[in-house]
Amino acid sequence: MKKYAIIVAGGAGVRMGTAVPKQFLPLNGRPVLWYTLDTFLGAFPDLEIILVVPMVHLETARVLVGGFADAGRVRLVTGGNTRFHSVRNGLALVMGNVQGPMPGDGQGLMLTQEASIIFVHDGVRCLVSRELIQRCYEQAVRLGSAIPVIGCRDSVRLVGEEGSSKPIDRDRIKLVQTPQTFRSDILLEAYTMDHQEAFTDEATVVEVAGHAVHLIEGEVNNIKITTPADMAVAGQLVMERAG
């Protein structure tokens, strides 16, 4: 079955406090995004990547991609105002519907392509493993979706009005990761909808469209780099992987 990965790398680095977006910051000698691309390219020899980046960093991304032997398997597209719009820009390019971003809400996507599997992944989750990508693929083929999650190890409280709070059973809490993986007919149908504020990730969009989502065990090390502390942790983990 055909495989596509939409890698969203549209962050501006605000919480990182750097002029360079975090996806392009050096991590043990290579940009953060390099590790993400390398892992996906190595997960399946026939997987095609759609890399979604801000317009102002398009040339930086092009230079980065050009350094890979498999650069021909990576296509670039610019992001939108929200994650939802960035993902839909990537979907439009996957489907060959347009040669760039979708023009706006309500335009729809072609649903005629043969069934495929589509991964959507945060570009700054650079420690994702090939094994997780492959497991997500296998489950999405069987069940239609695979949303990686891990358990919550901290105590959790739900805050109410006027500062009141109550504990929540943490065994019922799951922390959501990427790659969120779907059969193409499910994801493409969901993205014919207009944007809603509730759309925080692809699983939410698919659920609002009326489809069930299926969880799969994620990885503790599959962290999303957001702060300088995350960079320090990721650097250590990259060194450990290198042996």
Joined together, the tokens standing for residue 188 give: 């493409």
pLDDT value, residue 21? 84
pLDDT value, residue 110? 46
pLDDT value, residue 154? 93
pLDDT, tens only, 66-93: 999 999 999 999 999 999 999 999 999 8
pLDDT value, residue 97? 41
pLDDT value, residue 18? 64
Reference 206, options 221, 193, 222, 225; nearest CA is: 193
Asked whether the predicted pLDDT for residue 242 surpasses 70, the reply is yes
pLDDT value, residue 113? 52
Q: How far apart are CA 174 and CA 165, in angstroms?
A: 20
pLDDT, tens only, 162-213: 889 999 999 999 999 999 999 999 999 999 999 999 999 999 999 999 999 9
Q: Where residue 135 sits, what CATH number does that domain have?
A: 3.90.550.10
As for how many domains the chain has, the answer is 1
pLDDT, tens only, 125-166: 999 999 999 999 999 999 999 999 999 999 999 998 888 999
Paired with 78 in beta bridges are 53
pTM above 0.85, yes or no: yes
- Measured in whole angstroms, how far is the alpha carbon of residue 178 from the centre of its chain? 5
State which residues form the domain around 114.
2-242
Reference 191, options 105, 100, 117, 113; nearest CA is: 105
Whether 59 contacts 90, CB under 8 Å = no
